[in-house]
């Protein structure tokens, strides 16, 4: 008969109640009519309906030459039950109530554990509840409401103001602001227009959007987050393997102590068999390592759930122990420390608006990344571009064309002819900007340089603070890049990196990580396809959520918000979760070490004893205390 833990508990409680009443009223001279027979019948029902799973579990473990926490419960209750049958037949005192009450208290502890486990696992359920149930999908010339499961890639979906974006896609019409805080943690709404990607389960705040679906329901970012969290929650931290080995040794030792306890009281101290067994059963019950078994999985479940809410996906339990010993964090440069795309940083000339307008007008026809940076600068400055005639792209040099009957030339120093005039001010400014590792673009009108534009892949706004946070924790920071020494040194200095390693080929990144590992445990933070070997080689791989799929697959941790400060937070939550596991294990062992001699009757002369019933209650509360301690991770302050 497969009954739930809750049903088994209430059955056991109902049948134990008369025995409990008798235990309370017995000092007043009251006992159940036909005490022994009633106690036998009630306890037999409890053993068959409520305690049977303990016995089955203990038997299965014994067939594999192992012992588990159920072994102690099964041996303890069976000893009390079968001895009482023997005692009843030979008219001696019985201990049926011990077997019944211990079973009830153990089940009470399991009911609380089950409820707390559900509470700890709520993170994934809450994440899934973020998802919309249905969407307005374009079918047969009109928008109709369909469940998400029926939406296919390339379907056209309408998202009204105030509604959740139902599924991942790209905007093909409309303009709006999207609140992505539920997925990425970004506090400010993000402006979305045509060609911008949108994430399912985020909230469309003001405008109507038409999106083209790019992911099915099972492939969305939200579903990927849920999958990663579930995988981490069922993974086993290395310390759990140690716990399993300890349990294998611990249970036989407890059984030996219980036998010695019985023999000592019965043979050496000449106590009756029943009372001697009572001490022995108390030892078995108090030593039940339920708390030991809960110490790691509950902390892991709460820790990974908390980190997921912060936009930090921890893929497995191994990460926790590694994060504890991190000595060096190595960063990729492009896309990790920097924005990953060139931006205009300086415009030098007498009329900056005119310089940007002419340059953006010319570059609007080019696909080069530097041209895009200049065009975006004009767009951001809300400058209207001018028509261009005779446009010509000069590969590796720049571009030229006619604007309002003037010859406009834009590019590096190779585009300047010997007839081009350039003032000393521009030459001196060029020297200064090049010293800052910036790329210089000259703008000339009718063979006269009127301005220079400096372009650079600038650091992210969070990079400097992130590096400072790591250094404050005593962690060395290193930047690894294929860029030249000048550019790398400039970027490294601007964000406060301890060591810069430049001119590293993609194939050499993993080898460099191996060299750094000689000085201690190394974490690598990257986002590109070429970072995958380093992410895998490092002791701890941290992938940026905006990175390539292969980088995300290679990382042990994924930073969904792409905020470098989350590197420190990821290490901190991992360390605190690992510390919580160690604290749980410490208290579980201490509890057993203190409880066993009391239960064995070592302190009986001092009046300190523990009956099997109280031992069962104490054991149940020890398990609850471990789960409660793990849940406190939800309240722990993270920097």
For residues 187 and 204, is the Cβ–Cβ distance under 8 A? no
- Residue range(s) occupied by CATH 3.40.50.1000 in the chain: 312-337+460-560
**What stretch of H or E contains 541?**
strand 540-544
Fold topology of 312-337+460-560: Rossmann fold (3.40.50)
Catalytic residue check, 332: yes
- Output the pLDDT for position 185: 46
Q: Taking CA 223 as the corner, what is the angle to CA 222 and CA 224, rounded to the nearest 5 degrees?
A: 90
Mean pLDDT computed over every residue of the chain: 81
Which of 317, 410, 437, 285 shows the shortest CA–CA distance to 356?
A: 410
- Show the tokens assigned to 361: 């007008």
Could you give the CA distance from residue 323 to residue 571 in angstroms, rounded to a whole number? 6
Task: Note the CATH number of domain 134-221.
Answer: 2.70.150.10
Could you give the CA distance from residue 201 to residue 168 in angstroms, rounded to a whole number? 8
Q: pLDDT digits over 107-156, tens only? A: 876 776 677 566 555 656 666 777 888 899 998 888 999 998 888 999 99
Could you give the CA distance from residue 121 to residue 346 in angstroms, rounded to a whole number? 51
Could you give the CA distance from residue 72 to residue 218 in angstroms, rounded to a whole number? 44
Q: pLDDT digits over 560-581, tens only? A: 888 888 899 888 888 888 888 8
What integer is the mean pLDDT of 306-331? 84
DSSP 459: B
For residues 41 and 250, is the Cβ–Cβ distance under 8 A? no
Fold topology of 341-458: Calcium-transporting ATPase, cytoplasmic domain N (3.40.1110)
Could you give the CA distance from residue 162 to residue 206 in angstroms, rounded to a whole number? 7
Q: pLDDT digits over 440-488, tens only? A: 889 999 989 999 999 888 888 889 999 999 999 899 999 988 777 777 8
Q: Could you write out the DSSP letters of every residue in 315-380?
A: --THHHHHHTTEEEEEEEIIIIIB-SS-EEEEEEES-HHHHHHHHHHHHTT---HHHHHHHHHHHH
Q: pLDDT digits over 218-269, tens only? A: 888 777 767 766 665 555 555 556 656 666 777 778 888 888 998 999 888 8
Q: How far apart are the first and last CA of the chain?
A: 50
- Residue range(s) occupied by CATH 2.70.150.10 in the chain: 134-221
Place of tokens 């009223």: 25
- Residue range(s) occupied by CATH 3.40.1110.10 in the chain: 341-458
Which of 50, 35, 43, 60 shows the shortest CA–CA distance to 2?
A: 50
Q: Could you write out the DSSP letters of every residue in 240-299?
A: HHHHHHHHHHHHHHHHHHHHHHHHIIIIIS---HHHHHHHHHHHHHHT-THHHHHHHHHH
Whole-prediction pTM: 0.62
564-596 residues labelled b (16+ CB within 10 A) or e (exposed): bbbbbbbbbbbbbbbebbebbbebbbebbeebb
Candidates 70, 168, 332, 483; catalytic one: 332
- Output the pLDDT for position 396: 62
Neighbours of 238 (CB within 10 A): 12
499-521 residues labelled b (16+ CB within 10 A) or e (exposed): ebbbebeeeebbebbeebeeeeb
């Amino acid at each position: 008969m497969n009954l739930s833990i809750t049903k088994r508990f209430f059955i056991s409680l109902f049948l134990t109640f008369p025995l409990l009443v008798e235990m309370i009223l017995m000092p007043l001279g009251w006992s159940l009519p036909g005490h022994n027979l009633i106690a036998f019948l009630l306890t037999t029902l409890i053993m068959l309906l409520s305690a049977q799973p303990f016995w089955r579990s203990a038997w299965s473990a014994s067939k594999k030459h192992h012992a588990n926490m159920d072994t102690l419960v099964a041996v303890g209750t069976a000893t009390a039950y079968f001895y009482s049958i023997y005692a009843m037949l030979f008219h001696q005192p019985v201990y049926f109530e011990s077997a019944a009450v211990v079973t009830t208290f153990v089940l009470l502890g399991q009911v609380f554990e089950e409820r707390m486990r559900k509470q700890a696992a709520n993170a994934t359920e809450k994440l899934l509840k973020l998802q919309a149930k249905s969407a307005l999908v374009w079918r047969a010339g009109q928008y109709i409401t369909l469940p998400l499961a029926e939406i296919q890639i390339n379907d056209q979906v309408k998202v009204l103001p105030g509604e959740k974006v139902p599924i991942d896609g790209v905007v093909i019409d409309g303009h709006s602001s999207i609140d992505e805080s539920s997925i990425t943690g970004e506090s400010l709404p993000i402006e979305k227009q045509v060609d911008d990607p949108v994430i399912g389960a985020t909230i469309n705040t003001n405008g109507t959007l038409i999106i083209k679906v790019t992911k099915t329901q099972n492939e969305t970012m939200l579903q990927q987050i849920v999958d990663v969290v579930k995988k981490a929650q069922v993974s086993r931290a290395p310390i759990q393997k140690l716990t399993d080995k300890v349990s294998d040794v611990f249970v036989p030792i407890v059984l030996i102590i219980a036998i010695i306890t019985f023999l000592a009281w019965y043979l050496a101290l000449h106590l009756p068999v029943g009372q001697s067994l009572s001490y022995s059963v108390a030892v078995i019950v108090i030593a039940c390592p339920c708390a030991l078994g809960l110490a790691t999985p509950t902390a892991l479940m709460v820790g990974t759930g908390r980190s997921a809410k912060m936009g930090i996906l921890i893929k497995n339990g191994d990460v926790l122990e590694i994060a504890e010993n991190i000595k060096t964090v190595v960063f990729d440069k492009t896309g990790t420390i920097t924005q990953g795309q060139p931006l205009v940083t300086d415009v030098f000339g007498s009329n900056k608006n005119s310089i940007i307008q002419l340059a953006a007008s010319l570059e609007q026809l080019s696909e080069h990344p530097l041209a895009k940076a200049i065009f975006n600068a004009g767009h951001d400055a809300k400058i209207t571009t001018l028509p261009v005639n005779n446009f010509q792209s000069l590969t590796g040099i720049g571009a030229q064309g006619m604007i309002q009957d003037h010859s406009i030339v834009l590019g590096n120093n190779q585009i300047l002819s010997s007839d081009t005039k350039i003032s000393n001010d521009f030459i001196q400014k060029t020297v200064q900007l090049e010293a800052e590792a910036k790329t210089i673009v000259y703008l000339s009108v009718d063979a006269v340089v009127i301005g220079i534009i400096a372009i650079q892949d600038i650091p992210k706004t969070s990079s400097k603070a992130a590096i400072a946070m790591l250094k404050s924790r005593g962690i060395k920071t290193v930047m690894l890049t294929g860029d030249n020494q000048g550019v790398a040194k400039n970027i490294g200095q601007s964000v406060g990196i301890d060591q810069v390693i430049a001119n590293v080929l993609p194939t050499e990144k993993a080898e460099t990580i191996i060299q750094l590992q000689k000085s201690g445990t190394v974490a690598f933070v990257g986002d590109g396809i070429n970072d995958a070997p380093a992410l895998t080689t490092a002791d701890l791989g941290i992938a940026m959520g905006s990175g390539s799929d292969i980088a995300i697959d290679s990382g042990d941790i994924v930073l969904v918000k792409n905020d470098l400060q989350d590197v420190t937070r990821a290490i901190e939550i991992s360390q605190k979760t690992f510390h919580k596991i160690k604290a749980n294990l410490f208290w579980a062992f201490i509890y057993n070490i203190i409880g066993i001699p009391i239960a064995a009757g070592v302190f009986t002369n001092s009046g300190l004893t523990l009956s099997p019933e109280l031992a069962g209650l104490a054991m149940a509360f020890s398990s609850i205390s471990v789960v409660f301690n793990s849940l406190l991770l939800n309240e722990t302050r993270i920097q």
